[in-house]
Amino acid sequence: MIINRYPLGVESAQKKTATILVYASNAAVREVISSGLGSNLGNGLPDHKVREFATGNALRLFVDDGGKFDLLIVDAEAAPEGGLGLARQLKDEVYNCPPVLAIIARPSDSWLGKWSRAEELILHPIDPFTLGEKCGKLLAKRFGISSTRDISHV
């Protein structure tokens, strides 16, 4: 008799690779985000790959061409097109749009994050531990996994 050791959804998540889209016009911000995500976001979560976008048009083209993703990270300070407006557009136009994490410059911008329909917000400067924890929680929820980031190995 084979006993399933994993909660519902974990096995399928382990076989899948999560795709995380990163939108920021500043290459340094994209690098901080990508390195902050590390190689593992938590127990039971699938491996992930990161696709970076410097322009809103490139990101929209990817999505319009049927590009699939599991999490979108946007920089509210991106220029000329801010990440919050882009997040709101995708939430409006993409059926079952995956979760969005927005990076804002000031705590007083949190109302804009809510307007954008981002599920999570973090502040600049980016703390990699906070980024990893929030992304891990969003992906765990998306894949129906109850466990999240295990930082006991740190």
Tokens 């790959």 correspond to what residue? 49
Domain span holding position 74: 10-143
Q: How many domains does the chain have?
A: 1
Q: In degrees, to the nearest 5, what angle opens at C-alpha 136 toward C-alphas 48 and 43?
A: 80
Report yes or no on 152 lying in a domain: no
The residues, ordered by sequence, that sit 6+ positions from 36 with a Cβ below 8 Å of its Cβ are 126, 127, 128, 131, 132
The string of pLDDT tens digits covering residues 30-54 is 999 999 999 889 888 999 999 999 9
Report yes or no on 149 lying in a domain: no
Distance CA(42)–CA(54), nearest Å, equals 27
Report yes or no on 154 lying in a domain: no
Report yes or no on 89 lying in a domain: yes
Distance CA(84)–CA(32), nearest Å, equals 19
Report yes or no on 150 lying in a domain: no
The SS3 assignment for 58 reads: helix
Report yes or no on 4 lying in a domain: no
CATH at residue 26: 3.40.50.2300
The string of pLDDT tens digits covering residues 88-143 is 999 999 999 999 999 999 999 999 999 999 999 999 999 999 999 999 999 999 99
Strand partners, 103: 75, 122
Report yes or no on 65 lying in a domain: yes
